Amino acid sequence: MATHTIVIDGYIGGFGYSKQFVRSQMDGHKKDTVTVKISSLGGSVDHALSIFDQFKEHGDVTAELSAFVASAATLISLGAKKVRMNENSFYLIHKPMNWVDEWDTMNEDDIEALIEKLEKQKKELAKITLQMAKMYVRKTGKTLEEIINLMKDNTWLNAEEALEWGFVDEVFEPAETVNYLESEQLVALITANGMPAPPRKNTQVKTVQPVDEESLFNRVWNRIKEQLTKNDKSDDDNNH
């Protein structure tokens, strides 16, 4: 039996790895073993749920998680028959979010209308949270309360912790060891997406040495005198 590999290493959604993209990748491989390599901070819940269903429908999908796997990316992995995780990687589940952008002058009626709008969004998010939590419960065997509390904590799990929780079935050692915490750009991308910064225990804090003001002044003054001397010599040479 052949093995087909799909790589999802970016945004999950219409402008990235969409449900249509995954469907096109799955077509023609119904009888093959499919390996999906996932390294993503997530994206659209809508696309993630559809991709989850596609993996479930296929029935023989193995998800391999590496680097930072969060949010919607964890949802699609739940559809796999088996989930493996790189021992150097991190895993994050959290409550779904809506973009809230209100900037205006409002009277009491406007404020009341805004409150009603936000209350409606809050109820819709609560429904999505519950559905996602139930999916995690089915995978892990944990209680609904435990999963919702973990989603609320918004905390990165390392590979061993993800295994203990039951989100993954196996932790594997990669052929090449990579310390993802050393990538400042990757960590900056994570925080820019509104996610907590991962625990960087190996990060060394650079200390700033105090400035010796007197020594600095002397060095600058000596450079000025040196330049003045050169200018005087140049003037003498021109006069000659």
Cβ partners under 8 Å of residue 230, min gap 6: none
Secondary structure (3-state) at 125 = helix
CA–CA separation, 76 and 106 (whole Å): 41
Q: Does the annotation mark 47 as catalytic?
A: no
Q: Which of 71, 77, 89, 240 is catalytic?
A: 71
CA–CA separation, 136 and 165 (whole Å): 10
How far is CA 24 from its chain centroid?
25
The values of phi and psi at residue 38, to 5°, are -115, 125
Instruction: Provide the residue count of the chain.
Output: 240
In 87-141, DSSP assigns E strands to 90-92
Cβ-count burial of 213 within 10 angstroms (0-12 exposed, 13-18 middle, 19+ buried)? exposed
Q: What is the DSSP letter of 30?
A: T
Q: Does the annotation mark 71 as catalytic?
A: yes
Cβ partners under 8 Å of residue 63, min gap 6: 35, 36, 38, 55, 76, 77, 80, 82, 83, 84
Q: Which of 94, 183, 215, 240 is catalytic?
A: 94
Nearest to 165 by CA among 183, 193, 146: 146
User: Which residues carry out catalysis?
Assistant: 71, 94
